[in-house]
Amino acid sequence: MQAEEKEEDLIGAIEVELSSIETCLMDKDALFEALMLVDLMERLGIQRYFEHQIQRILRTTYMQWDDKYGLNDAKATVLAFRLLRLHGHQVSAGVLMAFEDGTKSFYDCFSVDSPPNISAMLNLYRCSQTGFPSESKIMGEAQKFARSQLLHVVSEGNPTLLQTNNLMIEVEFALELPRRCLPPRLESRSVIRQLWPGNKSTRKYLKLAKLDLQKLQKLYQQELEELERWWQQFGLDEVQRARKRLGQCYFVMAPNIYEAQFSSFRLAYTKGALLIIILDDLFDDKSYDLQELQQFNETFRRWDSSLINDLPQHKLLFKAIDDTYLEMAAEANRVQGRDILPIFKHLWAESAASFLKEAEWIHSEHIPTYEEYMQCAIVSNSVKIITWTSAFLMGEKITDEMLGHIGPDSRFTYLVGVVGRLSNDLIACPRELEEGKLATGVSCYMRDHPGCTQDEATVALTDLIEVACQELEWELYRSRAQVPEFCSRAILGNARSARLLYKRMDGLTNSDEEFMKLFQDFMFDPLE
């Protein structure tokens, strides 16, 4: 009870401070201070407590925004641009042209010769990561410039400049984990460690964020225990070669959709991810012939377990899927006011069919065209099924209009699938080739481009990931008016986590030491 009272006191004190700042927003310095607080609250993950105050600050900022010059100050403009864009305001990257117009360059407006200027360079770097496809030139130039300057200050700059507010931690974190592979809750923990215990102006924000993280960490541990009981209930350890990646699967989404009210979503997402991994492994298992795999696929198409009475491993998994999704559908039906089970069954049948297609390629040692491969791989990547059998449990009705924007068959979900699949392929390709999986994004791209080396194909697919990420920024922006923020964030979380998981290794396949450190820190380590 004492922790709750402290939390309420902190929220009240921050509300008073924000109200005081709001009365002075026509002053340029006061507006910049307010924007820095909004940025701090969002990076700490406590913005949900102050949504109305944040919106009022951003509306006032937008009223002062000039299409050509932003806020007429380089530091304030790049910070305001990012916040306004991420909140759905119409701002153009053309304002950055004012800093790069032939008579002057980014070098004239940004430097790394003082702690405030290093922070401004960080804001330029973060701003450059919110570009749309049509803005790739100017945003790319800004990102290249800012990244090179930040790398320089870390490796060769004056170390005393980075001691203020532990800037070294912030710069290294930003360079290591750009926005497109950064689940928000991981940043919150880093910011608290960087700034703790804070100064007079930031201490209450840090205290609130720390209490918030501690409270939610206990909930996450309870959810993990519930998932362990679910796994044991269905005896999934009895499935040969079943990979029990319970912690890894939970970690894919929890740092993205971290609020307490989305517990059902996190549990459903993790269960779906665990089941789809086992399903994928059964279809990859060469000890089963194609006829048996086709029989298994038919089980999902007709939703009839009697077809696999002679395949006990497969029947055990199918029962776990059937029972789990009957329960999930009952909960989803109450929220959505309609029968969701047919959607769930369709997505599972679609996934099984994609796994069968890939199994046929393995058995025949066939390498399809890149286009044919991606048509199948976007489904077998499982973004559609895992996310959309969970999103209906987020507590809000999902209309057909919303589904048109971000649903299973939308461009939004497709692009997330591209990012996830290609990110996986770039890392897993050598391992999968050893396992006899000749059809990967890399090999299929090389098939379509005779003479292309594996390194060249890797570069090309990396570029395709970046293009998909830019298009995702646009799809996220244009869907804001029709789709709840948390819903699009859930879909986007798959792309962010894919970039994080596959940054060095296949985090769902290997016990990557760095990945497990992140998981341990997020789930169990206290914030000292």
Contact in structure between 490 and 394 (CB atoms under 8 Å): yes
Tokens at 214, concatenated: 């501690």
- Whether 219 maps to a domain, the answer reads no
Question: In this predicted structure, what is the pLDDT of residue 512?
Answer: 66
- Whether 142 maps to a domain, the answer reads yes
Give the closest residue to 387 by CA, choosing from 290, 256, 261: 256
Task: Provide the residue type at 73 as one letter.
Answer: D
Q: Tell me, yes or no, whether 296 and 426 share the same domain.
A: yes
Question: In this predicted structure, what is the pLDDT of residue 79?
Answer: 98
Question: In this predicted structure, what is the pLDDT of residue 102?
Answer: 62
Give the total number of structural domains in the chain: 2
Q: Tell me, yes or no, whether 314 and 463 share the same domain.
A: yes
Q: Tell me, yes or no, whether 281 and 430 share the same domain.
A: yes
Mean of the per-residue pLDDT values for the chain? 92
Q: Tell me, yes or no, whether 362 and 428 share the same domain.
A: yes
| CATH code of residue 16 | 1.50.10.130
| CATH code of residue 391 | 1.10.600.10
Contact in structure between 223 and 263 (CB atoms under 8 Å): yes
Question: In this predicted structure, what is the pLDDT of residue 1?
Answer: 39
Distance CA 334, CA 272 (A): 20
Residue carrying the six token digits 């010769």: 113
- Tell me how far the alpha carbon of residue 130 is from its chain's centroid: 14
pLDDT digits (tens, 9 = 90+) for 183-213: 999 999 999 999 998 888 899 999 999 999 9
Tokens at 508, concatenated: 């769902």
- Whether 141 maps to a domain, the answer reads yes
Q: Tell me, yes or no, whether 244 and 201 share the same domain.
A: no
Q: Tell me, yes or no, whether 125 and 252 share the same domain.
A: no
Contact in structure between 511 and 244 (CB atoms under 8 Å): no
- Number of C-beta neighbours around residue 39 at 10 A: 18
- Whether 306 maps to a domain, the answer reads yes
Q: Tell me, yes or no, whether 147 and 195 share the same domain.
A: yes
Average pLDDT for 406-430: 91
Question: In this predicted structure, what is the pLDDT of residue 32?
Answer: 96
Q: Which residues pair with 70 in a beta bridge?
A: 66
Contact in structure between 120 and 128 (CB atoms under 8 Å): no
Tokens at 276, concatenated: 């789809």
Question: In this predicted structure, what is the pLDDT of residue 353?
Answer: 98
Q: Tell me, yes or no, whether 145 and 260 share the same domain.
A: no
Q: Tell me, yes or no, whether 365 and 496 share the same domain.
A: yes
Q: Tell me, yes or no, whether 318 and 412 share the same domain.
A: yes
pLDDT digits (tens, 9 = 90+) for 229-270: 999 999 999 998 788 899 999 999 999 999 999 999 999 999
- Whether 96 maps to a domain, the answer reads yes
Least confidently predicted of 23-27, 31-35, 91-95, 364-368: 23-27
In the DSSP assignment, the letter for residue 70 is: B
Task: Provide the residue type at 56 as one letter.
Answer: R
Q: Tell me, yes or no, whether 190 and 47 share the same domain.
A: yes
Average pLDDT for 86-98: 92
Q: Tell me, yes or no, whether 455 and 388 share the same domain.
A: yes
- Whether 226 maps to a domain, the answer reads no
- Whether 518 maps to a domain, the answer reads yes
Asked if pLDDT for residue 467 goes beyond 90, the answer is yes
Its domain, for residue 28, covers: 2-208
Residue carrying the six token digits 């070294």: 168
pTM exceeds cut of 0.85: yes
Contact in structure between 494 and 383 (CB atoms under 8 Å): yes
Distance CA 259, CA 168 (A): 29
Contact in structure between 50 and 15 (CB atoms under 8 Å): yes
Distance CA 222, CA 409 (A): 34
- Whether 419 maps to a domain, the answer reads yes
Contact in structure between 62 and 84 (CB atoms under 8 Å): yes
